[in-house]
Chains A and B, each alone.
Chain A
Amino acid sequence: MTRVAAVGDLHAGPDSVGTIRSRFEDLPQRADVLLLAGDLTRRGTEEEGRIVAGELRDLGVPVAAVLGNHDHHSGQEDRIREHLEAAGVRVLEREGLVLDIDGTRLGVAGTKGFGGGFAGASASAFGEDQMKAFIGHTETLAAGLEEALTNLRADVRIALLHYAPVDATLAGERLEIFPFLGSYLLAEAIDRAGADLVIHGHAHRGKEKGVTAGGITVRNVAETVIRHAYKVYRVGDGVRPGPEAEAARLAE
């Protein structure tokens, strides 16, 4: 069993010094890993990236993150990523990471994701170049996530996103903005690749719990939704760690 702490939408700024670090004070007693579901900064400036990286350094457990739309606002997402990685935070964009946690291999594949809407009410790559670029970005990230998830050699696999893969966790948001909150293409990719849990943020007024069409548990961990510093999800309760589990998985 692995304890996965998760929260999204920290939105760090110059006034966040000390406040983010303090919320993770006893994290090693409560969780084995921390996942951050994007929007680590407020306006996506390098300075905010430096501040949040400082807050997340040496928390006592491995930390992995995806970036969000706020982290892209100032065009300094590459510098934000560098500050985070220098502080030991793994930033995942169509990439995977496998952590050995007491003999269980925990795999995390992440992408920011993007919008478009949900099955039956989704934008299409049709018409103007701007529409094609919009949906094309989502398609690219969904395909990259699927590949990263598929390639994880792990006992437990988690997909980490900023944008929502299902509309169930958006309930409470205005219906008109659903296409800007997520895309079914992300869920479709995750269902094809398989996963044990999907974590996302971004939908501040949504709700925590949802499920993909393929039956994979989805949790929206935007801090205004979970109303806590972070939530802890216990995954792999039934998993037998080690080489036997891997052999069983490969034999499927």
Chain B
Amino acid sequence: MTGEQPEYVVARIQQALATDPRTGELELDVRIAGGRVFLAGAVATSERREAVEQVVRETAPELDVHNELSVTEDLPPGPSESVS
């Protein structure tokens, strides 16, 4: 694990987030900077926000995790637009 290039760690984290039954998330932004993992993007519920962080911690236990994920479950209806 020691000495693994950050870009390979990012790829491994993204693979884990896609395939782990607790997450199934393909669209999240994962970056490693200053020895920390930064998570950005949106998930449906606060439970999933926690699950993503947990999977990342298990996948890269040597790194601190900075969780910037937003949650979409309480979005209000949007405005209407005339399109034709």
Binding site for B on A (CB under 8 A): 3, 5, 10-13, 15-16, 19, 23, 26-27, 30, 42-43, 70, 73, 156, 196-197, 204-205, 217, 219, 223-224, 226-238
Contacts and interface: CB of A to CB of B under 8 A. Distances in A.
A196 B82 CA distance: 11
B42 to A, nearest CB: 4
A228 B75 contact: yes
Nearest to A219: B83
Contacts of A205: 27, 29, 41
B83 A217 contact: yes
Nearest to A196: B84
Which secondary structure characterizes the binding site on chain B? Answer: loop
A226 B84 contact: no
Contacts of A237: 82, 84
Contact of B27 (A27, A73, A204): A204
B75 A229 contact: yes
Contacts of B76: 228-229
26 contacts: A13-B44, A15-B48, A16-B44, A23-B77, A27-B77, A30-B80, A42-B44, A73-B24, A196-B83, A196-B84, A204-B42, A217-B83, A224-B42, A227-B75, A228-B75, A228-B78, A229-B75, A231-B78, A232-B80, A233-B80, A233-B81, A233-B82, A233-B83, A234-B82, A236-B84, A238-B84
Given A19-B44, A70-B24, 16 more contacts: A5-B77, A10-B44, A11-B24, A15-B45, A42-B44, A70-B26, A196-B84, A197-B83, A205-B29, A228-B75, A228-B79, A231-B78, A233-B81, A234-B80, A236-B84, A238-B84
Contacts of B45: 13, 15-16, 19
Contacts of B47: 15
A159 B78 CA distance: 21
B72 A223 contact: yes
A230 B83 contact: no
Given A15-B48, A233-B83, A237-B84, A43 B72 contact: no
A205 B27 CA distance: 8
Contacts of A70: 24, 26
A156 B48 contact: no
B24 A30 contact: no
Contacts of B42: 204, 223-224
Nearest to B81: A233
